[in-house]
């Protein structure tokens, strides 16, 4: 399983300078930490700061990896309770284009 550092680096590579999300987003991995994406500024900043975000996605690192690898469908994960979305649901929907 990937470390938080590896996930953070992977996120940086995926979003690049400007993901087009134009919002803040937090992936909350519980005891494993957080990945915070500030896409409201350009260039986008990815960190492990636990700050307020427009949208928070709560998920295990294991399920996040399955999502990122395409082994877990986001809609299915949401319906099965494997991922929870807090805040602006529209931002979560836009994420699919970033991870495509």
CA pseudo-torsion sign 62, 71, 87, 40:
positive
User: pLDDT digit string (tens) for 45-86?
Assistant: 999 999 999 999 999 999 999 998 899 998 999 999 999 999
**pLDDT at 96 (0 to 100):** 77
What are the CA-CA distances from residue 42 to residues 18, 24, 39 (Å)? 6, 12, 7
Domain 4-99, CATH number (from 3.60.20.10, 2.50.20.10, 3.30.1050.10, 3.20.20.70): 3.30.1050.10
Mean pLDDT of the chain: 93
Instruction: Name residue, tokens 């680096």.
Output: 9
- Residue spans of the domains in the chain: they are 4-99
**pLDDT at 85 (0 to 100):** 96
User: pLDDT digit string (tens) for 16-28?
Assistant: 999 999 999 999 9
**pLDDT at 1 (0 to 100):** 86
**pLDDT at 61 (0 to 100):** 96
């Amino acid at each position: 399983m990937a470390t938080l550092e590896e996930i953070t680096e992977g996120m940086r590579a995926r979003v690049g300078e400007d993901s087009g999300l134009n919002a803040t987003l937090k992936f909350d991995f519980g005891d494993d930490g957080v990945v915070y994406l500030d896409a409201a500024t350009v260039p986008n900043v990815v960190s492990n700061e636990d700050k307020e975000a427009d949208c928070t996605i709560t998920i295990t690192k294991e399920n996040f990896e399955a999502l990122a690898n395409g082994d877990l469908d986001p809609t299915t994960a949401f319906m099965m309770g494997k991922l929870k979305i807090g805040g602006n649901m529209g931002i979560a929907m836009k994420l699919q284009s970033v991870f495509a």
